[in-house]
Amino acid sequence: MNLILTLRSEIVCMVTLLMLLWYSSVHGFYDSAKRYTMLNVLAIGHVLFDIITVITVNNLDTVPPLVNRICHEIFYMFAILFCYILVCIVLDLTYGIGQSKRTVMIKRILAVIPAVYLIAMSFLPIEYVQGNGTNYSFGPCVFAGYACAMVLFLISVILVIVNMKKMSVHDRTALIPAHVIMMIAMLLQIRTPELLFTGADITLVTAAVFIGVVDPVGKFKHKAYFDQMTGLRNHNCYDDDLERFRKDAAKDAERSLIYVACDINGLKQINDEYGHAAGDDYIRHAARSLREALTGAQAIYRTGGDEFCAIYIDRTAGQVRAEIARLREIFGSSMADAGIKTVTDRPFSISIGYVSALNGEDIAETAARADSMMMEEKRKYYQMSGIDRRRSPR
C-alpha cells in the first residue's frame, strides 16, 4: 500500500475517533458508558502509534532501533487491550453490568493475556520487512501480539453467539457487524501484512459500538420522550403514540382501547403551604403509584403538571377497574406514610375518569370523554372538601 495513502487513512481514522470521544464527553455519555470511553481511548492510542510506526519503520536508517521497537510494542499493546475491553463490553451486555462473580472472574482470567504479552514482548524479537509500498514489522513479537488479540477477539465472538438471545436487538445489530468487520480485517492483515489495516478496522468497530451500544440517538430520544422528574412518558411521546394507536385501530377494528385520565388533587395547596419541593414529591409519588397499580396499561404518561393518563389495549373493563381500585387504595394513604415528611396531615387524593373507546371513535374523542369524567370527579372532590382551588386555606 502506498505510504502517503496509508498515512492519510490513519489521519482520517484519528480525526473520526477524536470526534467520537469529543461528542461523548460533550453530551454526557462518558459517565454512562465508561467501557466505551476506554475502548475509544485505546483505539486513539492504537491509531496514533500506527501513524508513528509507519513513519519509524520506513526510516530505519535515521530512527534508533530501540525507539522503533518501543513504538511498535506500544502499538501492539493498544490493539490487545482494545480487544480485551471489547470482550468486557460484550460480557457486560450478556451477563449484566456490575460486579457479578461470573463477570469479575472471566475478566480477571482474560486480563492475564495482555499481562503475559506485556512481559513476553520485551525479549521476543521483531524483524522489519520491505513490503509493497511500505515496510512493516514481522517476527515472533508480532505473531504473539496477533495471537493474543485473536484469542480475545474469538472469545468475544463466542460470547456474542452463545448469548445472542440475552442481548437486545439493538445490541446485536451493532455487535455482529462489528465482529464481522474485525474478523475480515484480521484475516486480511495476516494474509497481506503491508495493508496496515488495523487502525481503520479498530476505528470502524469503535464507531459501531458507539452507534449501537452507547446509542446516542436512543438517549436523545429518551430525553425527548420521557419526563425527567417522574420517568413516565411525556406529552411528546403521548402525541406520537396517539397517532400510532390511530393507525393500529384503522388496521384492526377488533382492537379494544380503554383510556384512563388522572389528575392529582390539591397540588396547588401543597405548593402554597409546604413549598414546591413538597409538590414535586407529591408528583413523583403519584407517578410511582401509577406504575405500581396500572401494571396492565400499554403506556402511562405525564401530560401536564399534575395530569396523567394511561392507555389500555385489549384489556377488559374488569381488569382496568381492578387496577384503578388498587390505585385509589394506594392514594388513600397519608403523605407521611409515603415518605413526604414535610406534609404530615394531608392524605393523597386523585381524580380518575376512564372510558372504553366506541366503535369508529377517534382516540382524541375517547380521551375527551375520559377527561370530562375525571373533571366531574375533581369538582365533587373540591365541593366535598371545601377547598377553594383558587387559593390555599390559611
Q: In the chain, what are the domains?
A: 3-214 (1.20.1070), 226-385 (3.30.70.270)
C-alpha cell at 231: 420517568
Contact 219, 29 (CB under 8 A): yes
Give the range with max mean pLDDT: 194-198, 221-225, 388-392: 221-225
Q: What is the helix (H) or strand (E) element at residue 309, kind and residue range?
A: strand 307-313
Q: What's the pTM value of the predicted model, to 2 decimals?
A: 0.59
For the stretch 255-279, what's the b/e string if a residue is b when 16 or more beta carbons lie within 10 angstroms of its beta carbon?
eebbbbbbbbbbbbbbbebbeeebb
Strand, helix or coil at 7?
Answer: helix
pLDDT recorded at residue 21: 77
**Position 8 pLDDT exceeds 50:** yes
φ/ψ region of 180 (left if φ > 0, alpha if ψ in -120 to 50, else beta) reads: alpha
Average pLDDT, the chain: 81
What one-letter code names the amino acid at 34? K
What one-letter code names the amino acid at 373? M
**Position 213 pLDDT exceeds 90:** no
Contact 175, 160 (CB under 8 A): yes
Residue 212 vs residue 259, higher pLDDT: 259
pLDDT in tens, 216-225: 556 666 677 8
Q: What is the distance in angstroms between the CA of the first residue and the CA of the last residue of the chain? A: 84
